[in-house]
Structure 1
Amino acid sequence: MDEIDESKQLVLQIGSALKRYRKEKNMSLDDLAESTGVSKLTLGNIERGETNPTLAIIWKISKGISLPLLALFKTEDPVSLYRAGEGLRFSNDQKNWSIEPVFKNAGSDIEMCRAYLQPNSSYHPEGHHVNTTEIATVMTGSIEIQVNGERYTLNQYDTISFRADSPHSYTNNSNSETVLHIALKYGF
């Protein structure tokens, strides 16, 4: 499957998952818009597969309805293989932080992804779902992570765990890309 077909398939999958969730919860598009802070028009376009939502929009939807982000990408395949650099990849608006979801069919309370932070840059995520734990392991490079105002320097294979609904950020002060493995454990 070429990249265009794969992207369109993904857009349709997200829309279908969102619509299925909304119907299961007996929500109207107005209800969903109120819960997520995303316009009814945008949500309708996503459900119909007519737009490719940004990571920020998908995250807003996920957080607004207390649904793990990767639940919108869930598949029913009994075996899943995700090779680095070959699958789905989302970037923030500044293009200095990107993630590759891993194990989209994992249980509904755990998500895993590979994250990439470009040289000499920082990423300040929005607060995660309440009672979420974030576990980050540095795979290549080094990184400074700030959690609740305290700074931690991690080198290759170091791991940190913290409450992800608290203020935190990632800073790469090196001249090389830093690669992280991140797991999110939801507490809902």
Structure 2
Amino acid sequence: MSSITSPFPEQIALSGEGLVLRPWTESDLAAMPELFDHPDIAYWTPIASPFDAAAARARLDRSRRLRAEGTALLLALTVDGGAPLGEVMVRRAPEGTEIGYAVGPAHRGQGLAARAVRVMAAYAFEQLGVEQVILELEAENAASVAVAERAGFALLDVPLITGEDKGRAYALQTWGLRRP
């Protein structure tokens, strides 16, 4: 596995499957609340809720800090490098190289999440040299289970990850995709 301390590139854009994944910028701040301030995102993800202008600034700053630390890469999900439609993330963690995503409510139903996950997985295999990427999701999150399946992931036979977030208990399944 790559060193946890090696930073991700500051200038990065990943293209594939009709998408361009690029770093968040100052010009995205106004669009972020529309993407992330939604009951589904509040319920299923650790993203701040309510998600307002201050949360957008904090997320942009956090994405830059995590990239520089080499912990995680949070990229805006776009079709052309322009307006963000959501986010895709790759995170180096002891339990594995994890991918996460969120698609704004107005942009769902277009296969964006599965395509973004596949592009990020290819990056992890080709550039980070990992043998497997994982998704951690709740079995009750039918949309995310469908994304995992469409992206080629299989449910792994590992213990559930349990915890609490925003006052709600959760149990996450781990789905894996091996290097082709």
TM bin, normalised by shorter chain, reads 0.3 to 0.5
Instruction: Find the structure with the greater CA-based Rg.
Output: 1
TM-score of the pair, normalised by structure 1: 0.36
More helix by share: 2
TM-score of the pair, normalised by structure 2: 0.37
